[in-house]
Amino acid sequence: MSFLDFLSVGPTAAPLGWRSQLFSSRRVLLAIFLASSASALVTADGPPQKSPPDPSRPTAMIVGKSAFVSIAPADRYTRSALPVKFLEQNWSADEAVEFYSLRQGSPLMRRDFFNILEQPDGVGLFRDSDYLASFGFLPRRPHEGNIEGYPVGFTGDRAIELTCAACHTSKMTFEGTEYWIDGSQAMTDMESFLTALTKSLKLTFDDAPDLSGFTSNVTIRLDQQTRFGRFVRQLTGGDTLRVSQAQVIFDLLQSDYQRRQRYNDYNDFGRLFSDDTQRQSAEKHPAYGFGRLDALGAILNQSVAEIIDKPGNAATANAPVNYPEIWDAPQHRHVQWNGSVDNSSRFGPLSRNAGQVVGVFGLVKTEGTTVGYDSSINFDALARAEELVTKLWSPPWPSEFGLDNALAAEGETVYRANCIQCHDIIDRTSRHRRANEVLVPINLVFGPNGTLGTDPMAAKNWRDRQAKVGILAGRNRTIPFAGKFPSDPQATVPAREVLTHLVYGTILRSFVPWRDELTIDDTTTKSFMLAPIDSGQSLMQYKARPLNGVWSTSPYLHNGSVLNMAELLKPPAARTSTFNVGTTEFDPVTLGYRNAGPFEFHTSENGNANSGHEYGTSLNEREKSALIEFIKTL
């Protein structure tokens, strides 16, 4: 359907099929359990008014195995001037390519608009591979299922979407070869990407002519010297159209901008602004840079400020953390850096995967249904992602990087004496592996090695954040027997309780056969980030996990404040306090990316402290070298 056809016909919502086998085994039990608290999510308008979906309506993109390609090439459609190697992580090329484009229901903006949007500081297209690579996204060649040649982690149907691969696929460069690592933390600057995207949207609709002086059926010619004129020509194929059509394009473009700007305002400043003058004079949180995002802060803002229309609930998202590696995630009892999501319960995988849509702009509607909340989440795709990540192994150390086996053998003794209390050793390829983690208090004595002492801001924000309940006043908290939210909309509760409520609502709704998968063109919805279920793990703590594959995840500590492993083994006062990130050049001696790149990291800024984790700092130099060598083998 062309865009002009859309202007006449209007949007539709795509029906969603039943869950894959992974989730189907739990369907009955889950539905019964959630039904016991269904009143938490029942609205006052009676039974659902929508009929079951019409089979003739457009359906969601296929998400099953090998949906986009039957046989992917060995290079997985990468685009690079260097040779590219992939490490053995138990994925075929087909499975990797599928993961890169697995559409989960996380609309960023309209796909037609994204494809023709110009860069904010030039006339090239925003989606140009080289331009997106400047933010750290990994380029790919066009192919079936990705005819535009989007980078890893970009996909979409009506809307352009970001997938989990955008933040969890990395590359490193060593001696003229690129090594791609699936499931590792991406070296992407998501904050700058979203800022630039928002700026481009605003520049485009600000460049539109004043249409108020024309009647709707008048045909006008648009100036091709303006961004808006060029945008419309690319969209419709001509430079003339009716005023009514130009107005629709303007309104939709402005809607995409407003949605993105609200997200930025909440996270950058903890408030909304009416104009750019106020925004430019306001104090912003320290920049995140490459490889980091305050995902939990963004989740809280979108849920407690955006969806329940309480802008006063917003708070600056000022505690960025590294994108965590996701291999072994299904085998962990808890996920998130602070262990806030219980992954071992009946709802663990389902809530964790719904929570994965959190940072990537899922839609939800809390009114108009009698059972749960309609959302944009594609649960079939989440089930498939769970299957793929369950298979995924941590990356083995490349032989080209070099390894001193004798020194590594010494390092194992050092590791077992100093590290294994928190960082278990597991068989990374075992089908029955369990990633036994330890939840370590930040400022309490823990075991024989003293206190952790790392930057507390991320854990503190999660523990202390409060929110007014707003439109959720009087509704059940969702978890059976947990009671109701206060009846006063101005009453406050821990913000994470709102997240729990919303996630349960979307999960419950996913079992309704006629539910709608919301699209970006459903104008009755607002954007908001789904949230993981809180398990009560809200203490001041961080999770210590097995270190298999950790060599590929620098900078280290939860907030990315330590450049490499050699630095981590120094006393905090001796660690580098200012360094650069953004390069993909890897140093196999220090075990980290080199001190290079466009972003300068300052550990003196709030949330960036490189303090704590003094374990191993008293080892002698031989022991430290041996320990690093052994960590390469995990």
Q: In the chain, where are the structural domains located? A: 73-188, 193-274, 311-513+523-632
Ranges 65-74, 351-360, 546-555, 556-565: which has the least confidence:
65-74
Please tell me the predicted confidence (pLDDT) of residue 330.
80
Please tell me the predicted confidence (pLDDT) of residue 38.
40
pTM: 0.85
pLDDT digits (tens, 9 = 90+) for 66-117: 344 458 899 999 999 999 999 999 999 999 999 999 988 889 999 999 999 9
Q: How confident is the model at residue 509 (pLDDT cuts 50, 70, 90)?
A: confident
Closest CA to 100 of 133, 69, 60: 69
Q: Determine which helix (DSSP H) or strand (DSSP E) holds 593, and give its type and residue range.
A: strand 592-593
Contact between 546 and 331 under an 8 Å Cβ cutoff? The reply is: no
Ranges 65-69, 436-440, 598-602: which has the least confidence:
65-69
For residues 337-348, give the mean pLDDT: 66
pLDDT digits (tens, 9 = 90+) for 197-208: 999 999 999 999
Answer with the residue of higher pLDDT: 64 or 498: 498
SS3 category, 319? coil
Q: How confident is the model at residue 502 (pLDDT cuts 50, 70, 90)?
A: confident
Q: Is the pLDDT of residue 213 over 90?
A: no
Answer with the residue of higher pLDDT: 221 or 344: 221
Q: Is the pLDDT of residue 525 over 80?
A: no
Angle, to 10 degrees, between the axis of helix 495-509 and the axis of helix 27-35? 130
Q: Is the pLDDT of residue 40 over 50?
A: no
Q: Determine which helix (DSSP H) or strand (DSSP E) holds 492, and give its type and residue range.
A: strand 492-494
Alpha helices in 174-306 (DSSP H): 190-206, 227-236, 243-269, 276-281, 295-301
> Regarding beta strands 177-182 and 84-86, do their DSSP bridges make them parallel or antiparallel, or are they unpaired?
parallel
Tallying the residues shown for the chain, one arrives at: 634
First to last CA, the chain: 51
Find tokens 């090329």 and name the residue. 93
